[in-house]
Amino acid sequence: MSEDEKKPKNPSRRAFLKSTGGAAAIAGIALGGLAVNPKETAAALNPMPKKWDETYDVVIIGSGFAGLAAAIEAKNAGATVTVIEKMFVHGGNSIINGGDFSAAGTKMQKEAGIQDSADIMYNDMMKTGLYLNHPGLAKTVAEQSNSALEWCQSLGARFAKVGFHGGHSVKRAHQTINASGSEVVNKLFDKVNALGIKVQTRTKLVRFVSDKGGRIVGIEVRTGYKFPDEKSGKTAYIKARKAVVLTSGGFSQDLALRQIEDPRLTDKFGSTNQPGATGEALLAACMAGAMDLQMDWIQLGPWTSPDEKGFGHVPLFCERLVGYGPMINPKTGKRFFKETGNRKERADAIILIGNPVIIMGDSYAVPKQVFPNALQKGMEAGAIKKFDTLEDLAKNYNIPFEAFTAEIAKWNSFVEKKKDADLDCMIFQDAKPTVTPPFYAARLWPKVHHTMGGLVIDNNAQVMGFDLKPVKGLYAAGEVSGGVHGAVRLGGVAMADCIVFGRIAGKNAAKEKSQI
């Protein structure tokens, strides 16, 4: 034991604990010595407070899919657990997501006659991810996607049908009965409550607390925090005897951070995410020595509408229609990109055009494909419109009518042959020509949807540091982690990622040796 460890607690520390922080507190840091390993040096600066306000085996930051899954698994493995959430309500971005869970080789797929496997899903993820995915992470998600789906079902989550998302080889998006992630969040939250796990809302992470070896042993938080008032709430310390699990989500709403990584993403682009989807918890982990990767891959949803706020209803309209109806540039009246292309391809194509485009379908495709509630709400919001004739539709969007009708005729000939000779759109076997009135259409303009980059994790959800070694006591899962999706995340794989790695993180956190 060194001299420092033996010496009594110094007075300035007590003085600090009474303060609410600020410059006076900074001056309280002792300059006790030097260390050679920069990682241990940096992390060791965050010492244990004199008094922990609360103590658990596992402390989870964030209450979306990943956080709730981690909480359940950690508790089931025998750990005491708490979940903190900075917002007023639990659920994070998960509770407002579209409710599509991509999984391969499932019972529902078999019943629908869909041939699929973890290998096919893995290959789709890698190809779309431009092979920047960490192969072990992508493989883990693909291989465990079915068991993760079944686990959600075992907790009561209900799924209605298997749909398609661009970039996948087959239909594998298992849509919840209410076309919302809330169906899964609610069932996970019920289980969390049944297990007696305390979910502390309005509790915001300020920084990680490390022991002298650089191990994360707890967190400093603001309780009673009122988003987005950074001065609200008061300081408290929560000890994690075993580990902290970071499941704080992405940073699609973080204008400053997203513009550092991709300067194009100014406020001209909205976001589909809830307002709390900011990056301060991710950055706090970096300040504690955790390494980030591939942060510049920020996904724009190509299926959002400028005619409604946030995620809205049009994405559910658009994504169910691709492969059944054409996407048209109103300036030319022509198609411009394959409707079943992946998210990045389509968003880039729309941004290149520079004006909103149209997705449309007829009265065969729309009732068959689109969830009635999404259609109704999209129409109520004025973002989806119904037209008795193609002429009316063209007139409404200022589409040159002759070019448009010629293009629809061509599209219909492709649908008959089930082969798109122009743009190689995947046309589904049950698709029919777009001829049956009334016609439905919505405008599309990309919004920031998902941040693929994040903390470096291994297959055990263990976070890695800038010294290329584990940050002990720190796990991460879901959108705050990076490497699963590579350059481009496929639709519905976020849910699979969050549940698969949330469960892994929770189990492994609970297995850590307890730090007294």
Residues 115-154 contacting a copy of itself, CB under 8 A: 131-135
Can you tell me the distance from the alpha carbon of 503 to that of 508, in angstroms, rounded to the nearest whole number? 9
**Do residues 363 and 437 lie in contact, with contact meaning Cβ atoms separated by under 8 Å?**
yes
Task: Pick out residues in 33-62 that bind a copy of itself (CB under 8 A).
Answer: 33-42, 44-49
Task: Pick out residues in 436-465 that bind a copy of itself (CB under 8 A).
Answer: 453, 456, 464
Can you tell me the distance from the alpha carbon of 247 to that of 498, in angstroms, rounded to the nearest whole number? 9
Q: Are strands 298-301 and 292-293 parallel, antiparallel or unpaired?
A: unpaired
- Rounded to the nearest whole angstrom, what is the least distance from the CB of residue 2 to a copy of itself in the complex? 4
Distance of CA 436 to CAs 82, 188, 429, Å?
Answer: 54, 42, 18
- Locate tokens 């699609």: which residue? 252
- Taking CB under 8 A as the criterion, the residue among 96, 157, 257, 461 binding a copy of itself is 257
Closer CB to a copy of itself, 136 or 156, in the complex: 136
- Rounded to the nearest whole angstrom, what is the least distance from the CB of residue 288 to a copy of itself in the complex? 7
Q: Is 467 in the site for a copy of itself (CB under 8 A)?
A: yes
Task: Pick out residues in 62-91 that bind a copy of itself (CB under 8 A).
Answer: none
Binding mask 194-233 for a copy of itself (x = CB under 8 A): ------------xxx---xx------x-------------
Closer CB to a copy of itself, 344 or 503, in the complex: 344
- Taking CB under 8 A as the criterion, the residue among 173, 277, 291, 370 binding a copy of itself is 291
- Rounded to the nearest whole angstrom, what is the least distance from the CB of residue 388 to a copy of itself in the complex? 42
Task: Pick out residues in 360-419 that bind a copy of itself (CB under 8 A).
Answer: none
Cβ-in-10-Å burial (0-12, 13-18, 19+) of 16 comes to middle
DSSP string computed for 264-324? T-STTS-BSS-TT--SHHHHHHHHTTB-EE-TT-EEEETT--TTSSSS-SHHHHHHHHBTT
**3-class SS letters over 234-258:** EEEEEEEEEEEEECCCCCCCCHHHH
Q: Is 294 in the site for a copy of itself (CB under 8 A)?
A: yes
Closer CB to a copy of itself, 111 or 231, in the complex: 231
Closer CB to a copy of itself, 94 or 294, in the complex: 294
Task: Pick out residues in 2-31 that bind a copy of itself (CB under 8 A).
Answer: 2-5, 7, 10-13, 15-17, 21-22, 25-31
Which are the contacts of 239, defined by CB distance < 8 A and separation ≥ 6? 48, 52, 54, 55, 56, 59, 217, 218
- Please report how many Cα atoms fall inside a 13 Å half-sphere around the Cα of residue 508, on the Cβ side: 22
DSSP string computed for 354-411? TS-EEEEE-TTHHHHHS-HHHHHHHHHTTSEEEESSHHHHHHHTT--HHHHHHHHHHH
Residue 293 is encoded by which pair of tokens? 């990767």
Q: Which stretch binds a copy of itself (CB under 8 A): 259-267, 316-324, 367-375, 415-423?
A: 259-267
- Rounded to the nearest whole angstrom, what is the least distance from the CB of residue 420 to a copy of itself in the complex? 23
For the chain, the straight-line distance linking the first and the last C-alpha, in angstroms and rounded, comes to 17
Q: Which stretch binds a copy of itself (CB under 8 A): 60-68, 166-174, 184-192, 466-474?
A: 466-474
Q: Is 352 in the site for a copy of itself (CB under 8 A)?
A: no
Number of chain positions touching a copy of itself (CB under 8 A): 77
Is 503 annotated in the active site?
no
Residue 515 is encoded by which pair of tokens? 């730090």
Phi and psi at 243, nearest 5°, equal -170, 160
Which are the contacts of 491, defined by CB distance < 8 A and separation ≥ 6? 100, 102, 165, 166, 167, 168, 173, 319, 343
Q: Which stretch binds a copy of itself (CB under 8 A): 32-40, 321-329, 436-444, 504-512?
A: 32-40
- Taking CB under 8 A as the criterion, the residue among 70, 197, 244, 288 binding a copy of itself is 288
- Taking CB under 8 A as the criterion, the residue among 77, 293, 379, 423 binding a copy of itself is 293
Name the active-site residue from 172, 258, 320, 343.
343
- Taking CB under 8 A as the criterion, the residue among 201, 235, 332, 412 binding a copy of itself is 235
Q: Which residues are annotated as catalytic?
A: 343
